[in-house]
Structure 1
């Protein structure tokens, strides 16, 4: 029992230090790792060695993937590719299903672009569509926000799923995480869209801080936004840096199946190399370079790399500290104790979901929630029957479902959605926070149903 009380105290420390003391999650997780080492009475001379090994181990592979994914996202964001993606979806779907259109746009854009940035980029487009289709701004805002949130939480190369996959030993199985994650993300995006439809015909005068006419008057800014990007990239140029790496990673995963479905010759060698996430994202980065359009492309590319490194740095540090925390926990008897206790309860995938949801709701960061929870549950997967490859994949997605439950006032994304949509805070809790609760619950139900088939 003392083992569990120490763990609870460590989680409380992480939450309070990041929320009340405003300590950066990197320092909070690192401090928690050191405290855990002493609290669980590991040999003092080994604690720092375990911390360093855990930190370096997770970043040795995942770190490059996170950095490349962030740089690709920066290029897509700055080049206007996100706008092209949105317009392509609108041309395909037309204007008959406004919230569905908005949800799909969010679902696609957030695979490489952070959900916060994606929302800001697409805000003017969302307002323009609401005005053109004569529907509620609130409904369109929630549909966009939940579409973005779904792939941000479930689909690599966004940092949370990648870090969780790394902690759970899935560095070479990201194709499987992507494939199953896209399905779960699609279901949760659809659930968010259905909730958004509740507000489709409601009076925005009662839901927004300012009159809809004033807000929608800003929709003309969308044309100005497009003009600021100059000539927009083609649909192929916009989508290729995202989907070519995903296809390569999935084909690479298929190539290395024990049954050798693609043979063992040149095709196998090529796909087993290009299908590795680092190689696939390097291909994506090369394709993203076709989006460069200044006269001095070398300097433009250099600037994007610098911006990407700056954006990736805190994520890398948090991920590494989470790996250090996980390494310390693996070195203690906690995993065996919790594993045997939880396996007796028979809650399986619900355990990582509940832990991630508690952390997300308490401290606000989806990435921190996924990193911390995956580090916590990694030592006990064998005891709760999830130690197979697919069991680990489903555990990542269960953690993702928890890490989206719920987005409220301590989450920066909540305020991005609220402020850019001009929602009243009470409206945002009813619309956006409730939507993320529904997405999380639908997400874990979907993962559980998949487990009945796949495990």
Structure 2
């Protein structure tokens, strides 16, 4: 009966979001309350559980999401993202342009949200394709593959970070495992798969975008752009390496502080204020305007993640988590496969990768505590599932379709299949890594 109520809650979530087009955050809060009451919780206790879930989830994530958004906006407004892209493309040349855009997508994608990275770099895709006389999707698909993979696999992106919070996974270790996992996924989906497709060209839509191409002297240097963007990665990786190889070293206290995602991103933001702002001749007021705009852009993302945390907390406080452990604990199916499968089903039905990952993690989190599976691998499995087959209920589908000016059928053949390949490669990589952890 308890699992039936959870199933009803998921169906209700689908009904509210898909049929009634209700906002994801409002839907998650309503479903959390309904599930809690149906599970036998007093109404006031259900409300308290929702409040605690939102608070505990955002308590550790709000800083990370906020600082990440600020860093991304500073990169965008200063031209640092444009500098990284154009420099790599110039260095690699026409023959290796796909590799250049993949590296661009990986570097920029670590610091920027998927939609932001896409909108910043898509004008460069059009420019590169025209100058190199290459099909637009031949250049665009590798870039998009890198951006969406970083979005689904790597902290400090909101989805993977929120999922790691639920599983109590180490973000540094998740990053260390995620980077080598995403490289073959991007290569197969973004570079190999397009070779099997015909007609990768399309017409650049008129009036759909208005690229702001900065002049050479207006942009920061390549080295400082890359360094500022990857400071969080460097610090988080350092913290994970120290924890793995020198857990009793005196420097653990320092690595834990500076390797904390919130601290790492804060340091990167502070440096970016100078490297992307003040040192470029901008006034502090102008830089702070970018900061304000960045925070406004992630408000709904923060609320949706909080709503996912509320659903998770209700499952735990109502005692369903113990029932899930006893019910699924006898299953022969790997928790990694289970996490991927639940996230994939929710992704296909809901459209939102963040909601799918958060909901799946909340449902399956109790298994992590009673199994020997790595919580970091659980994060990657859930993240991989959350970006599988994207179709008409996903905003990412329509962004890809409209900017590349292609039909729905062609969007499914390119975008939808590509993200599914990434998802399956991610699951395969997680299962391989599980043999060694």
TM-score band, normalised by the shorter chain?
over 0.9
Match of 1:57 in 2: 56
- SS for the counterpart of 1:156 is coil
* Matched position secondary structure for 1:406: coil
Which of these residues, 372, 394, 417, is aligned with residue 434 of structure 1? 417
Query: Structure 1 66/395 Cα, relative in aligned 2: closer, same or farther at 3 Å?
Result: same
Deviation at 1:268, TM superposition (A): 4.0
Alignment of 1:48-127 (within 5 A): 48-127=47-126
- Rounded to whole Å, the distance in 2 between the matches of 1:60 and 1:97 is 44
* Residue in structure 1 matched with residue 265 of structure 2 by the alignment: 281
**Residue in 1 that maps onto 2:176:** 179
Once the two structures are superposed, residues 318-342 of structure 1 have per-residue CA deviations (whole angstroms, 9 ceiling, x without a partner) of: 1112111111101233223333333
The answer on whether the counterparts of 1:339 and 1:381 sit within 8 Å (CA) in structure 2 is no
1:230 Cα offset (Å): 5.8
Match runs of 1:354-369 below 5 Å:
354-369=341-356
How far 1:6 moved relative to its partner? Answer: 1.0
| Cα distance in 1, alignment partners of residues 180 and 36 from structure 2 | 39
The range that moved more, 160-169 or 103-112, is 103-112
Q: Is this contact kept in 2: 1:237–1:287, CA < 8 A?
A: no
**Mapped pair 1:308 → 2:294:** yes
Residue 426 of structure 1 and its aligned partner are, at CA, apart by 1.4
| Alpha-carbon contact 2:73-2:290 (below 8 Å) kept | yes
User: C-alpha deviations, 1:381-405, integer Å up to 9, x for none?
Assistant: 234543xxxx111111111111111
Residue 291 (structure 1) aligned to one of 257, 267, 276: 276
User: CA shift at 1:271, angstroms?
Assistant: 2.4
- 5+ residue gaps, structure 1: none
* Secondary structure in 2 matching 1:453: coil
The superposition leaves residues 299-329 of structure 1 with CA deviations (integer Å, 9 ceiling, x where unpaired) of 1222122112212211211111211111110
Answering whether residue 398 of structure 2 is matched by residue 400 of structure 1, we say: no
Does structure 1 retain, via aligned residues, the 8 Å contact 2:69–2:298?
A: yes
1:258, distance to aligned residue in structure 2 (A): 8.0
Moved more, 155-164 or 16-25: 16-25
Alignment check: 8 A CA contact 2:340 2:381 kept: yes
Contact 2:315 2:321 in 1 (8 A): yes
SS of equivalent to 1:300 = helix
Q: How many residues align?
A: 431
Residue 111 of structure 2 contacts residue 229 of structure 2 at CA under 8 Å; is this kept in 1? yes
Contact 1:240 1:287 in 2 (8 A): no
Mapped to 1, the partners of 2:51 and 2:327 lie a distance apart of: 30
Aligned-residue offset at 1:234: 0.8
Counterpart for residue 47 of structure 1: 46
Alpha-carbon deviation of 1:444? 0.6
Closer, same or farther in 2 for the Cα pair 1:295/1:258, shift >3 Å? closer
Task: Check whether the contact 1:342–1:384 (CA below 8 A) recurs between aligned residues.
Answer: no
Contact 1:18 1:25 in 2 (8 A): yes
Q: How far apart are residue 296 of structure 1 and its match?
A: 5.2
CA RMSD in angstroms, aligned pairs only: 2.2
Match of 2:214 among 226, 229, 241: 226
Q: TM-score, normalised by structure 2?
A: 0.92
Following TM superposition, by how much is the alpha carbon of 1:192 offset from its aligned partner in structure 2, in angstroms? 1.4
Asked whether the equivalents of residues 111 and 230 of structure 2 are also in contact (C-alpha less than 8 Å), the reply is no
Deviates more, 1:83-92 or 1:440-449: 83-92
State whether residues 175 and 253 of structure 1, in contact with CA within 8 Å, keep that contact through their aligned partners in structure 2: yes
Contact 1:89 1:101 in 2 (8 A): yes
Unaligned 5+ segments in structure 2 are none
**Which of 187, 193, 196 is the equivalent residue of 1:195?**
193
Distance 1:100 1:380, change over 3 A: same
Q: What is residue 241 of structure 1 aligned with on the other side?
A: 228
- Residues 329 and 367, structure 2, Cα contact 8 Å, conserved in 1: no
Secondary structure in 2 matching 1:382 = helix
Distance change in 2, residues 1:76/1:144 (3 Å)? same
SS of equivalent to 1:111: helix
Within 1, Cα distance between the matches of 2:85 and 2:224? 13
Match of 2:33 in 1: 34
State whether residues 120 and 416 of structure 1, in contact with CA within 8 Å, keep that contact through their aligned partners in structure 2: no
Equivalent residue of 1:110, what SS?
helix
Aligned partners of 1:259 and 1:430: how far apart in 2?
48
Q: Distance in 2 between matches of 1:335 and 1:158?
A: 26
3-state SS in 2 of match to 1:260: coil
C-alpha distance 180-423 of structure 1, shift in aligned 2 (>3 A) = same
Match among 241, 245, 248 for residue 254 of structure 1: 241
Q: Give distance in 2, aligned partners of 1:88 and 1:281.
A: 24
Distance 2:357 2:92 in 1: 34
Comparing 11-20 and 84-93, the one that deviates more: 84-93
TM-score using structure 1 length:
0.89
Q: Is 2:153–2:160's contact at 8 Å kept on the other side of the alignment?
A: yes
In structure 2, the residue matched to 1:323 is: 309
**C-alpha deviation, 1:83, in angstroms:** 0.8
Contact 1:99 1:196 in 2 (8 A): no
